Structure 1
Amino acid sequence: MSTTKGLEGVVATTSSVSSIIDGVLTYHGYDIDDLADNASFEEVVYLLWNHRLPDYEELQSFKKELADAAEVPEAVIEQMKSYPIKDVHPMAALRTAVSNLGLFDSSADETSEEANRQKAIKLQAQLPTLVTAFSRIRDGKDPVAPKTDLSFAANFLYMLTGEEPDEISEKAFNKALVLHADHELNASTFTARVCVATLSDMYSGVTAAIGALKGPLHGGANERVMKMLSEIGEVDNAEPYIKDALARKVKIMGFGHRVYKNGDPRAKHLKEMSRQLTHITGETKWYDMSVKIDEIVTNEKGLLPNVDFYSASVYHSLGIEHDLFTPIFAVSRVSGWIAHILEQFENNRLIRPRAEYTGPDRQEWLPIEKR
């Protein structure tokens, strides 16, 4: 029995949702560059779930479905207020809140195509409401109810701040959502598929995926990138800080990727967004610092930035608290999780790999008085 650590290079399933071939990321065959430059997030969600882009009427109908489903049960908000607000990370809060959502959906365990579609709409629409509500509750503020006349991206920023965003912020956040929507069989997506392959429900699958995304080697990397930038503080400090970290063999978050050997195709879009937003906010040091770190790590280690690296300064420039970066990742990636969950249900087989045993052999039982 041959094994591969971390299942690297192992093809575990077939999927038509997204692909990474020769360093090119596509969603149902559409290049991520085309989608990032042209698509609304709502169009991308529709594409991931329906295998095609919507026409105008379909898109308007889909937007309305999402907007109408964005409010969460009041009991879930009240439960959130009982969390140990000052001590709990937003990802832990989101994991618990999404699990709670399943308790208030009478169709949670129904498996029909229509029931699953309605659960998909609710989960996609309500994750932003949960993330923004938690952020405001811990700041001692009341949650802001979603509006039905805003785009998905604008509505998130509105519920977070209480103010409708400007066009540039809305466009930047929309692009970030598009770029994070799916990424083939990543750790959280694989977790979601393993969960629902037991014929568990969609809420369980998404809750499990959030648990996997919470880890710093997956979704938590962008938060740690911003922590590093904050510690460096100024552009002139970047080179000595990074070179010292490299000398001590400290992992620089936001660089390298197991799948991409010639660079993450999403990074260039986030780099440009970082440049524009930091210029608008007057805090160009975050972009300049990032570029300097990029140059050093690329030259010294041959590692290129991934999607997490420049997304940190993008979210910071949008005024988003740093520990919300990973929950925002979930707000986008739930679209991909759901696409894979639906695909798993369509042709399901229990996912049950084997393990090569490396423990002791032929042990003999000894009564307890002889041990």
Structure 2
Amino acid sequence: MTDKATLTIGDKSYDLPILKGSTGPDVLDIRKVYAESDHFTFDPGFTSTASCESKITYIDGDAGILLHRGYPIDQLAEKSSFLEVCHLLLNGELPSADEFAKFEKNITYHTMLHAQFDAFFQGFRRDAHPMAVMTGAVGALSAFYADSINVDDAREREISAHRLIAKMPTIAARAYKYTIGQPFVSPRNDLSYSENFLRMCFAVPAEDWKPNPVLTRAMDRIFILHADHEQNASTSTVRLAGSSGAHPFACIAAGIACLWGPSHGGANQEALEMLETIGSVENIPDYVQGVKDRKYKLMGFGHRVYKNFDPRAKVMQKTAHEVLAELGHNNDPLLQVAQELEKVALSDPYFIDRKLYPNIDFYSGITLRAMGFPTNMFTVLFALARTVGWISQWKEMFEDPTRKIGRPRQLYTGPTQRDYVPVDKR
């Protein structure tokens, strides 16, 4: 027998089925509340509302848990590769050796862009923000790859998913190269996913580019850590756009636009800028006091979902140390500020009581800067990595037989009906 709750409004009561997932909080099914009671529910920001059923990613913010298809994020980041995680998110299981070889080849051989597509970049100003280029370029993919936009065809959905995962690094690298005035670098089939991306970003015609295994592994790990994060703002945007039947190129472009918002995709840039503002270890006490006095914000600490610690943060911290050691930046003043600030925050009751623990953004900005990326590329890298999460969520939504077009309701507080008054009588 299905568990149920009872909602009482005035002298009437309504039964609400209680749905149980494989883990996590139970959910009150309110789908019939409006039809039966003529009442909406009110939940700005959807912080207490499950907008969908999903088998992809699970977060327990209180316990600091992040699982992709049941696998802990720290295990995936340490032991897996980004492309293997892509297969996991898309298909539900880690691939066998043969399955992975086929998947890797499919992605690798889709990395090139249509020859005419490069001309598309010329329409942007040279000083355009790379995220502006990304939003426009990804949306334009449908004009070049219209043979895979039939959302009702499972094979075309798969081809589009592979194309987006494969071409996103090429588009991101071109967005970067275009803004700095350097020639585009084409992908190579003999390089790994992350190695290819780094080469397309940093190779120049004047000299040979040499891969660095430490930086390649760091890039791959950063991609894994950002691959998916449940029903966040951009993922919900992708699902809402897709609920209308929109093809994946349009939906992913919508996700990129949402990610561009500073409250979502700009946190690591803000954390890096905070460290630059502090400048040196000696300035930390004054800054911390300023945070307590509400003069400054402590960026890179705390999280909307994680009320304990961010499980991605420890892996990111380790990655930051590996990259800085490899590049000889162990004495980087920003790293020293970050380490001391983390130590102070983790021992200060003010921050402990508010559960302000370091999150992934605290160390990712330092790492990306050391690797050579300017701050305006940070959100681009986030979008590149999150593409697989977006397309996996989009794919899951389309394969759900109960899918409906999204149509949130509202609490209307504007004027009630009134008659029009001619302008000469107002």
Residue of structure 2 aligned with 1:339, choices 386, 392, 412 = 392
Could you say which residue in structure 2 is the equivalent of 1:34? 75
Q: SS of 1:74's equivalent?
A: coil
Could you say which residue in structure 2 is the equivalent of 1:198? 244
Q: SS of 2:231's equivalent?
A: coil
- AA at the equivalent of 2:99: E
The 1-side partners of 2:170 and 2:283 are apart by 38
Could you say which residue in structure 2 is the equivalent of 1:10? 49
Residue of structure 1 aligned with 2:143, choices 100, 103, 119 = 103
Could you say which residue in structure 2 is the equivalent of 1:141? 182
Shift of 1:319: 1.5
Q: Which has the larger radius of gyration?
A: 2
The answer as to whether partners of 2:110 and 2:167 remain within 8 angstroms in 1 is yes
The 1-side partners of 2:123 and 2:291 are apart by 40
Could you say which residue in structure 2 is the equivalent of 1:153? 194
The answer as to whether partners of 2:188 and 2:196 remain within 8 angstroms in 1 is yes
Q: Which runs of 5+ in 2 are unaligned?
A: 1-39, 204-208
The 1-side partners of 2:296 and 2:45 are apart by 21
Could you say which residue in structure 2 is the equivalent of 1:294? 342
The answer as to whether partners of 1:155 and 1:164 remain within 8 angstroms in 2 is no
The answer as to whether partners of 1:41 and 1:177 remain within 8 angstroms in 2 is yes
Q: SS of 1:343's equivalent?
A: helix
Could you say which residue in structure 1 is the equivalent of 2:217? 171
Residue 225 in structure 1 maps to residue 271 in structure 2: yes
The answer as to whether partners of 1:66 and 1:125 remain within 8 angstroms in 2 is yes
After the TM superposition, which segments of 4 or more aligned residues of structure 1 sit over 6 Å from their partners?
A: none
The answer as to whether partners of 1:70 and 1:122 remain within 8 angstroms in 2 is yes
The 1-side partners of 2:196 and 2:272 are apart by 24
Shift of 1:118: 0.6
Moved more, 266-275 or 102-111: 102-111
Residue 312 in structure 1 maps to residue 365 in structure 2: yes
Alignment of 1:251-330 (within 5 A): 251-284=297-330, 285-298=333-346, 299=348, 300-301=350-351, 302=354, 303-330=356-383
The answer as to whether partners of 1:144 and 1:159 remain within 8 angstroms in 2 is yes
CA offset digits 1:9-45 (Å, max 9, x no partner): 2211110011013431111111111101100101000
The answer as to whether partners of 1:154 and 1:164 remain within 8 angstroms in 2 is no
The answer as to whether partners of 2:56 and 2:69 remain within 8 angstroms in 1 is yes
Residue of structure 2 aligned with 1:355, choices 410, 416, 420 = 410
The 2-side partners of 1:293 and 1:91 are apart by 30
Could you say which residue in structure 2 is the equivalent of 1:48? 89
Could you say which residue in structure 1 is the equivalent of 2:100? 59
The answer as to whether partners of 1:193 and 1:341 remain within 8 angstroms in 2 is yes
Could you say which residue in structure 2 is the equivalent of 1:207? 253
Q: Which runs of 5+ in 1 are unaligned?
A: none
CA offset digits 1:50-89 (Å, max 9, x no partner): 0001111111111111111101123222221331121x21
Alignment of 1:74-85 (within 5 A): 74-85=115-126
Could you say which residue in structure 1 is the equivalent of 2:157? 116
The 1-side partners of 2:301 and 2:365 are apart by 13
- AA at the equivalent of 1:291: Q
The 1-side partners of 2:132 and 2:267 are apart by 16
Could you say which residue in structure 2 is the equivalent of 1:236? 282
- AA at the equivalent of 1:4: D
Q: SS of 2:116's equivalent?
A: helix
Which of the two has greater helix per residue?
Answer: 1
Shift of 1:158: 1.1
Shift of 1:281: 2.4
Q: SS of 2:390's equivalent?
A: helix
User: What TM-score do the two structures reach when normalised by structure 2?
Assistant: 0.83
Q: Residues 41 and 164 of structure 1: is their aligned pair in 2 closer, same or farther, counting only changes over 3 Å?
A: farther
The 1-side partners of 2:342 and 2:418 are apart by 53
